[in-house]
């Protein structure tokens, strides 16, 4: 496998939906009957990716899945998850919707709120990337086959190069996760490990030991 090469001046990190709702046991996904055990191991590698991105001076962009309290902007989600409005799942301004404490956005980071799976749909994500002069996006977070995949497909359609650290993404189901990664590798981007990404983002003044 060729060594990953990234231009830190042209690369941004997009961290997808690492929210209390998905990661915490008392978050709303678990209350909706979705076992999040496979999502929780992403916390450590995502934190490493974020730290590496900050050291390298990359723009760091966190996305959050949100909805109004009345769910009028949630579309078909309120049909697929009829209990979501009752438990206040992903309601803007609540603990459920916040990025987990281990990944608290820094003042210089971006936070993009979205009401659909793709972080590009009806948001300012593309404006941010264009303003930062980015042509490559590193995408991590949850869930692999839904919001991560949807964001990657839309990034590819906009001609961004895509890099995905495979241990920093996860899904509620192993088969769907693995299938999504195969599709991403086949048609959209480059799969790496968190360690490979860290090495690619290591500043020249900080040689690997």
- Residues with catalytic roles: 17, 114, 147
Q: Is the distance from CB of 61 to CB of 140 less than 8 angstroms?
A: no
Rounded CA Rg of the chain:
16
Give me the phi and psi of 64, to 5 degrees please. -135, 130
What is the C-alpha separation between 10 and 138, in angstroms, rounded? Answer: 11
CA of 171: how far to CAs of 102, 196, 205, in Å? 19, 22, 36
How many CB atoms within 10 Å of residue 121? Answer: 13
Q: Which residues pair with 140 in a beta bridge?
A: 15
What is the C-alpha separation between 60 and 11, in angstroms, rounded? Answer: 10
């Amino acid at each position: 496998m060729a060594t990953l090469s990234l231009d830190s001046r042209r690369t941004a990190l997009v961290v997808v939906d690492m929210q209390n709702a998905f990661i915490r046991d008392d978050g709303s996904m678990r209350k909706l009957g979705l076992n999040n055990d496979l999502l929780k191991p992403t916390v450590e590698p995502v934190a490493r990716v974020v730290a590496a991105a900050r050291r390298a001076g990359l723009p760091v962009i966190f996305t959050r899945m949100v909805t109004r309290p009345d769910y009028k902007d949630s579309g078909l989600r309120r049909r697929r998850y009829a209990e979501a409005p009752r438990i206040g799942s992903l309601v803007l301004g609540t603990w459920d919707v916040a990025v987990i404490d281990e990944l608290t956005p820094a003042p210089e980071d971006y936070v993009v709120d979205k009401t659909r799976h793709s972080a590009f749909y009806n948001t300012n994500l593309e404006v941010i990337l264009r303003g930062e002069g980015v042509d490559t996006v590193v995408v991590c977070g949850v869930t692999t086959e839904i919001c991560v995949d949807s964001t990657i497909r839309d990034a590819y359609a906009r001609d961004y190069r895509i890099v995905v650290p495979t241990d920093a993404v996860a899904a509620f189901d192993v088969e769907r996760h693995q299938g999504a990664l195969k599709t991403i590798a086949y048609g959209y981007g480059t799969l790496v490990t968190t360690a490979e990404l860290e090495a690619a983002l290591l500043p020249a003044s900080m040689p690997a030991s």
